[in-house]
Amino acid sequence: MNARLTLAMLAGLSALGAMLPAAAATYRIDDTGTFASQPVTPMRWRQLAPGRAGDHTVEGRSQVQLRLNLSQWVSRPARIYLSLAPTDGEQLVATWRTQGRLLPGTVRGGGRTLVFEGVVRDSFLQESIVIDLTADGRKVEHAQSLQFFFEIEVSP
């Protein structure tokens, strides 16, 4: 029975391997020159009063000018993800709008979301995004720093 289980697991792993792109490599993207419009975003209660329904959402907004250095991957097919490092305590949600060079999307602390898929055309990708943040205000007790970064996946 153990041998049969092992064989079944091996078969499952082989099938999983066949679905993944062959040895795609992931790199952090150099985003030197990227900056947020304001260094600190105050989170505000969506409802000043808790009310009977008990809406405890806090929200904030920041605009970010992006400059991604893609010079190493020009003319190569790639996927680019925007990641948010795990946040302190509460699973904060970041939703962004773009000017069209990257895809809009949503990411939670500790996750990543696809923002580009295709062939890299230029050495530098510049984009302006507006990030809307929401969280349960009861769980955001202290000031904290949100860390965003971009990753690129390319096939060899």
Partner 1 sequence: MKPSPFQLSRTARALFALALSCSTWLPSAHGFTFGITPGQRALFLQVGVGTMSGGFFNNGGTPGDNSTVNTASVTVPVAQLGSGTPQLMTTDSTVTASPWEGTAYCSSPATTGQVYVGGFFRRPGQGAGGNEAILSVSTPAALTSGNGDTIPFSRIAWTSLGIGDATATIPPGTFVGGGAQNLLTVSRNTWFESCLAFSYLNTEIVPAGTFTGTATFTLTAP
Site residues (vs partner 1, CB under 8 A): 28-36, 38-45, 47-52, 54, 56, 58, 60, 62, 64, 69, 92, 133, 137-150
Question: What phi and psi values does residue 73 have, to the nearest 5 degrees?
Answer: -120, 20
Give the residues across from 81 on adjacent strands: 114, 151
90 vs 103, beta carbon nearer partner 1:
90
Cβ nearer to partner 1, comparing 17 with 39? 39
Judge residue 145's burial from the number of C-beta atoms within 10 Å of its C-beta, 0-12 exposed, 13-18 middle, 19 or more buried: exposed
* Residue type at 41 in one-letter notation: T
Closer CB to partner 1, 27 or 76, in the complex: 27
Could you tell me which of 146, 155, 153 has the C-alpha nearest to residue 36? 146
Nearer to partner 1, 61 or 79 (CB): 61
Smallest separation (angstroms) from partner 1 to the CB of 89:
9
Length of the chain equals 156
d(CA 60, CA 3): 55
Which C-beta is closer to partner 1: that of 76 or that of 138?
A: 138
* 70 touches 124 (CB < 8 A): yes
The distance of closest approach from Cβ of residue 105 to partner 1 in the complex, given in angstroms and rounded to an integer, is 16
Least CB distance from residue 125 to partner 1, whole Å?
Answer: 14
Q: How far is the CB of 18 from partner 1 (least distance, A)?
A: 32
| Residue 88 beta carbon to partner 1: minimum distance, rounded to whole angstroms | 10
Cα–Cα distance between 59 and 43 in angstroms, integer?
Answer: 5
